[in-house]
Structure 1
């Protein structure tokens, strides 16, 4: 009887569940899962200029919110800087070579220039002067050679420029050739400069004074006053205007006023000394009589502002007078 009631109860229970709805999901109980640590990737941040950076590490949770805002505008990742390379213009003329038939030129000898260009209808060759200015030009073919004369007086170097094209398409190349030194110095040690020419023989007259010396150079028709008082100019030159037929050899009034042990300059030297108060006051009195001797003069440098004068002294040394009275010095032989 008890089994019969259980069967009936079971059937009623099944019927009740079926009446609740066929769409209800069937829940199967399962065991509760245990907690497992999950690694969360941290996003990489690239702060721009003035970006706000938190002093504490960000949470280990990826977010998709707005990026940090810069203090001075929108945060941007700076683009990589690069210098654009200008593409070569295939129509631009170019110089393949510009050279000569020698590595050094003797003054007075011609020099032959050789050149080759591409993409040009013609070329121009310029010669530069000592100041680097273009003072001569030749219109030439794109390829060829040219013989250029030099002068015996040229010194230092000769410089040329080959030019092709115009404006932004212009191409130029310089050629510098040293000039050999054809002349030797008359003394040792020689200066580094090349002399302007060979040494010139000359008759000289020199006299020492308290604060310098006077030197007469017959070949140059000049009297040079060299001062050693430390004032400017260090030396001055005068044209020789002494005429023995007109001017006295010395002045008797000066002669009587001289202290013992001093002498009055005579002739060409005395004419300059007595006739120029500045020279007389700066030099002082003569220490010894004038001495005449044979020697040489030689120059180096181009132009009045750059020419150095070298001449023998009575004591065997060489006197160098720098340009425009700036200074003078004694060169002692080795």
Structure 2
């Protein structure tokens, strides 16, 4: 497979440069994210009984993936293209293969959700694999560009490790999708694979991405001095240990799950402490800002939601 940075020519000359986001892909991902959300909510209205079948029903799993892979992951992918040039100083020119990755993600997500709801395991497996490959392309471009980014090392480690957890969590999801057809490898239980997939994807990838981009965006949202960033090393270490430990212990040693859950919670606490320290270092807003500024309020609400979810 050719290098993501060298293959394919840009879709247009209006691609992203450092400080300048791409134009079409953020809009495409945002549109698909909201379309998936509308479909999920519509299904909940039409067939509310599906919501009562957790966790055994494949229809419920399809509903969940419309929200997680369809809405949340699409929002993250769009944010990567929109904010990586300005937040990470990482140019992500929009290329034809990026558009192909979007098609894989969107078509694969809907095929998987349809397969889980009605069509059967082959649709779910092929669709899930397509969506996974689309994500691999996007996060591969992001990870390959991180070494050249002039941002704190802790930020790069958080974002890079989050991309690695996408490979682990998404790979387990693809394994389980095909295992519904061909069976799981010996020694693995279905419930353990599903739980490990969920934790590696939700905490390892999504939360790790939040930590990485948040470490750059919170100083902007709070209008605060960023500081030296040494606490990011602790956040990265706790996050990696918690995510890896949870995934491995769920699969191999369930008795250790509570201990690694504590480590994962400590990573969240460390990030919340990082955000609180930034809020205390807030500088005086620029003179052109007048009236009430809701931006810090949104940031505080997001951090509060993260704390509530962890608790």
- Same fold at TM > 0.5: no
TM-score, with structure 2 as normaliser: 0.20
When Rg is computed on C-alpha atoms for both structures, the one with the higher figure is 1
Give the number of the structure whose residues are more often helix, by fraction. Answer: 2
TM-score, with structure 1 as normaliser: 0.19
